[in-house]
Amino acid sequence: MTRILAENDSLYNKGYSVLQPMPHDIPERYSRQVLFQGIGAEGQQKLAQARVAIVGCGATGSAVAALLARSGVGTLRIIDRDYVELSNLQRQTLFDESDAAESLPKAIAAAHRIAAFNSEIVVEPKVADLVPANVGELLADTHLILDGTDNFETRYLVNDYAVKHSRAWIYAAAVGSYGVTLNVLPGQTACLACIFPDSPTGMVETCETAGILNSAVNLIASIEATEALKFLVGAHDQIRKTLLSCDVWHNDRAEIAASHPREGCRACGKRDFVHLAGEGRPHITLCGRNSVQIHEQHRPIDFVELSARLQPHGTVRHNDFVLKFWREPHEITLFPDGRAIIKGTTDTAVARSLYARFVGS
């Protein structure tokens, strides 16, 4: 029998149980979670039956994956196109130095790490770039989709898929000391396109150029994981219906109402799923020997500002017509309209990852 003794009535009133027997079919590892009234034995069983897709296993994605794995979510499908690097370890909590030394794909490394602390759940690692051609396959048969990605291009794709198929998902992002998150319940709340009708234009801050605090990551991941638990156990009346943003360094916090879809929204109003059709993403082609071209258009780039951001990360030069950035073994040539040529790879997923990291997307 597992017991918890409340020190005073206020704890009891907040939902903690006193001397509550633990059901025999609930593993001891979840006993403290089951004692929380919002979860309980029934909720824990629902978690065990849940299937969650996590798109991106970088900072936010790895943190939320660890939290949900320890909470007993039965199946986690982790989708990521990247590999572990030493610079990830400051904030990406599922990885260690051996993963970075071996350049393990993040999805594989995450699956190995989770298996070491919870062998009772299923982890499905998918080393893949989520694109319109595979989004249906990779997100199929899941109850909830969680955002751990690093770019709006993929988030709009997830939003289109989720709205079209009435699949709940949670947007989450962190950069610098700032984090933001939004729960999307299609047909009930605002979707990502309701709040942000258009992709950000110009330069976008990334972890590579603006830095990031691991505390900001873990705050947003914790909020995202908690909202996921609410959804999966059926506590829908407790789900937050705002866009929540926090800055842990400047002590700022803000919320924007998101309880209803926006009238005339492209996605949930007009059901015009341009990102599922591939219209909302840059065209990518192989370009000569060992290079990839990203045909991003109508995204004016300030070479002076970007050059200053990139300076600590490699060699950078620019004039009025082109910016060149060298970071071994790759070379990025960027044009004023956002188009880029990435040399040193023929892998379009690697090229997209480099673009997102150093230019923003």
* 233-244 pLDDT, tens digit each: 999 999 999 999
pLDDT digits (tens, 9 = 90+) for 152-210: 889 999 999 999 999 999 999 999 999 999 999 999 999 999 999 987 766 567 777 78
Same domain flag for 288 and 226: no
Number of domains in the chain: 2
- Has residue 15 been placed in a domain? no
In this prediction the pTM is 0.78
CA distances from 237 to 212, 243, 264, 324, 353 (A): 33, 17, 26, 51, 37
Same-domain pairing of 177 and 90: yes
Question: Which amino acid belongs to residue 41?
Answer: A
**What's the Rg (C-alpha) of the chain?**
21
Q: Can you read off the two tokens belonging to residue 361?
A: 């997307």
pLDDT at 8: 36
Whole-number pLDDT of residue 180: 97
Q: What pLDDT does 120 receive?
A: 94
Q: What percent of the chain has pLDDT over 70?
A: 88
- 288 pLDDT band (50/70/90 cuts)? low
DSSP string, 8-30: SHHHHHTTB-SSPPPPTTS-GGG
Confidence bin at 64 (pLDDT 50/70/90): very high
The dihedrals phi and psi of 187, each to the nearest 5 degrees, come to 85, -15
Catalytic one of 207, 246, 265, 268: 207
User: Is 165 found in the same domain as 59?
Assistant: yes
Q: What is the pLDDT of residues 24-51, one digit of tens each?
A: 566 799 999 999 999 999 999 999 999 9
Q: Assign residue 114 the CATH number of its domain.
A: 3.40.50.720
Residue 184 lies in a domain: yes
Residue 306 CB burial class (10 angstroms; 0-12, 13-18, ≥19) = buried
Could you tell me if residue 300 is inside a domain? yes
Strand partners, 126: 79
Does 337 lie in the same domain as 228? no
pLDDT at 203: 59
* Domain housing 100: 38-257
Q: Is 287 a catalytic residue?
A: no
Answer yes or no: do 52 and 114 share one domain: yes
224 and 296 share one domain: no
Q: What is the pLDDT of residue 296?
A: 65
